[in-house]
Structure formats: C-alpha cells, structure tokens
Amino acid sequence: MKSALRRARPIPGPHDIFAVVGRKYGVSPERLLGRVGWGLAARNVAMWLVWERCELSLAEIGRLFGGLDYAAVAQRIRRVQLDFSPAARRQLIAQMSNVKI
C-alpha cells in the first residue's frame, strides 16, 4: 500500500533526488550510487527518498545503488526512519517538493 504522500505529489526521477541529496550533504551523486561509501548517511537518505517519492520497489532501488539486495535497502530505509524524527523526515520531503521534474 502506498502512503498518501507518495500518491499526492508528482513523481521526481531518482537522479533528481541524488542531485538534491548530494548538494545537501556535500557528496557527489556518483558517491551516493557507488558501493564505496559504506555507512554513508547521505546514501541512506537518498535510498529512503527514492523509496518515498519514486514509487520504485526495494529491488529496483537496490539495482540503482550498485546491486544491493532488497533486504539491505529495506534495512537502510528503516535506519533513516529510526534516526530522523518525524519532523526531520517531513523537512527532507519538503525539500524534495522543490525539485523540478
């Protein structure tokens, strides 16, 4: 079941999200996608935002991020949900609202 947030907004492309997250965290989009950078918080945030906004499956997101297993993607998304307060997550999503698609 998709959240109301995922249905309510236009769908940005993953690369739009990589650019915004990269700017916010000072990380290149290539580093977000590469397998080097294990534990990189920006990478986890990018995965979560792609999942939240792009309507891709966990397996599709894993392929985008260098062939990660869907379970690894789910774990990283769960970490973001635990590490950020609901207000901080809403703020990240609000920043994505400014992405031109």
Q: Where are the domains of the chain?
A: 13-96
Per-residue pLDDT of the chain (101 residues), as tens digits, is 455 554 555 677 898 888 888 888 888 888 888 766 656 888 988 999 999 888 899 999 999 998 899 999 999 999 888 888 888 888 877 776 665 43
- Structure tokens, 15: 């690369």
Q: Are 51 and 77 in contact (CB under 8 A)?
A: yes
Quote the pLDDT of residue 7: 54
Give dist(CA 41, CA 46) in Å, integer. Answer: 9
pTM of the model: 0.76
Architecture field, domain 13-96: Orthogonal Bundle (1.10)
Quote the pLDDT of residue 100: 47
Distances (CA, A) of 40 to 7, 8, 25, 45, 98: 29, 29, 10, 9, 24
